[in-house]
Each structure stands twice: as structure tokens, then as C-alpha cells.
A = this chain, B = another copy of it.
Amino acid sequence: MAASHSPNQNHLLAALPKDDFDRLSADLELVPMPLGEALYESGGRLWHVYFPTTSIVSLLYVMEDGASAEIAVVGNEGILGISLFMGGETTPSRAIVQSAGHGYRLKAQLLKQEFNRAGPVMHLLLRYTQALITQMAQTAVCNRHHSVEQQLCRWLLLSLDRLSSSELVMTQELIANMLGVRREGVTEAAGKLQRAGLIRYSRGRITVLDRGGLEKEACECYGVVKKEFDRLLRDVPRTAHAQMVPSAHA
């Protein structure tokens, strides 16, 4: 598919003031982000930051015994690699592409320079980080108190918000890994949602039929996080820079 790509598809990039954006745009590199790719490994160095456009990436913590849990999800609203400008040179989490698509990447050094100008770019990045923190915290509470079914709803909604379509390409096994629960638990919860007419799925394709219904089934965690993202990133000007980066892809 020769769909047109533009950095504007990423909300953070789109929100940059024109001159900041212009300075960076030549160095933005369009990259495909295939399902399952690991952008960062736990403890690894950060060579690039990524601005997803049509992909979704999960931040995972993996434990010694192999058990894992998603602590946040990043899509076209955000950026991957915050620990770069927060000060640690490495990231403690894994970043795994959870929904294939594209994104723009930027050399770590360049983003750092930009951040250190201490201007609008910095403040935008910090606000986004604040929103991400909220998501992590809410995930912690959700893990403590809510049922697999509620969490599945929350997770589907978070993914939906970051995609243009209402179909997710995603096996139950993968979802289980993200949520840190059993695959069978997901099967059961998903079955319930399907019988209720909220979703339909088969072999790795999930279609959301009734978004409102999902929201009612989900725990409050989804709403809290969404509201905070909206609040923190709402009043940033959606500049929508006119020019397109010469999309140097296959």
C-alpha cells in the first residue's frame, strides 16, 4: 500500500512550532515497524527515539522468571525513548511493537540537542512524559484491583484510540502477554465480550463493534488516563506543518 506518510500523523511532531519542526524534519527517518520488533531492550542504550504514526508500541517490564506486564502503550500520540532526555542513558523497559505500522525515528543525539534548547520542544516532551506517568500509575492500580475482563476492555480501547481502523491484528496470546495474564483468561473474557456483541474476532483479528459498550464494561482506569492525556496535550497547537518529508521508503 502506497499510503502517504507524514510526520504530522504523530501528534507530538504535529504540535511542534514551525521553526522547531523545520530544524528536525530533514533528520526524521520514516521506518516500518513490524509486529513484534523490539525497539529497545531492557537496560539497552537508546540510539534513536521513535515517533509512531500508524503503529502501536508497548512498554513491557520483563521479570527474571520470564513473566511480563505492560506498563504503558505508545502510539501516534507520543514518543518512545523518554529516558533519553530524562537523564538515564538506558531504558529499564522493553519496547515491543504491538501493532504493525510505521513511525519516524530520530537520532538520539539530535533529540537531546533539541531538548537542551529548553524551549517549547522540551516543554512538550515533558508534558507528554507526565501523561505517560499517569498511564503507568493507573496501570499499577488496575493490575491490583480489576478483573481480566475489565482490563481487556481498557486495553482494547487504548489500542483503538491509537489506530484509525476499528480492527486490531492481535492474537489472544499476545494480549495475554501484554496484560500479564493467562491466554485462557483472555479467551474467556473475549468470548464474553463477543457474546455480548461488543466485539467480533477470529484468529488474530479483533473487530470492535460497539465502542460505547466497551467503555461501559471497562474500568474507570481507561477514562482517567484518556482524560489526563487530553488535558495535558489538548492546548498544544496542532500546527499541521504543510510540507511533507520526502518519504524515503520502499
27 chain-A/chain-B pairs, Cβ below 8 angstroms: A61-B137, A61-B138, A61-B140, A67-B145, A68-B141, A69-B140, A69-B141, A69-B144, A71-B137, A71-B141, A83-B130, A83-B133, A86-B130, A86-B133, A87-B123, A88-B130, A92-B224, A116-B118, A133-B133, A133-B136, A136-B137, A137-B140, A140-B140, A141-B143, A143-B143, A144-B180, A145-B180
Supposing A87-B130, A130-B83 touch, asked if A141 and B61 sit within 8 A by C-beta, the answer is yes
Which residues does chain B contribute within 8 Å of A92, judged by CB atoms?
Answer: 134, 137, 224, 228
Which residues does chain B contribute within 8 Å of A133, judged by CB atoms?
Answer: 83, 86, 133, 136
Query: Residue among A67, A133, A144 with the most chain B CB within 10 A?
Result: A144
Q: Give Cα A118 to B126, complex, Å.
A: 13
Interface residues of A in 97-145 (CB under 8 A from B): 116, 118, 122-123, 126-127, 129-130, 133-134, 136-141, 143-145
Which residues does chain B contribute within 8 Å of A139, judged by CB atoms?
Answer: 140
Sample of 6 further A-B pairs with CB below 8 A, known A64-B220, A86-B129, A141-B180: A61-B138, A69-B145, A86-B133, A87-B126, A88-B231, A136-B137
Cβ of A63 within 8 Å of any chain B Cβ, yes or no, is: yes
Q: Give Cα A67 to B220, complex, Å.
A: 12
- Nearest CB of B to A171, in Å: 20
Classify the secondary structure of A's interface with B: helix
Number of interface residues of A (CB under 8 A): 41
Which residues does chain B contribute within 8 Å of A53, judged by CB atoms?
Answer: none
Does B88 lie within 8 Å of A232, measured CB to CB? Answer: yes
Residue-wise, chain A 201-229 has the 8 Å CB interface mask toward B (1 for contact) of: 00000000000000000001000100010
Q: Give Cα A21 to B134, complex, Å.
A: 30
Q: Give Cα A61 to B231, complex, Å.
A: 18
Cβ of A93 within 8 Å of any chain B Cβ, yes or no, is: yes
Interface residues of A in 54-84 (CB under 8 A from B): 59, 61, 63-64, 67-69, 71-72, 83
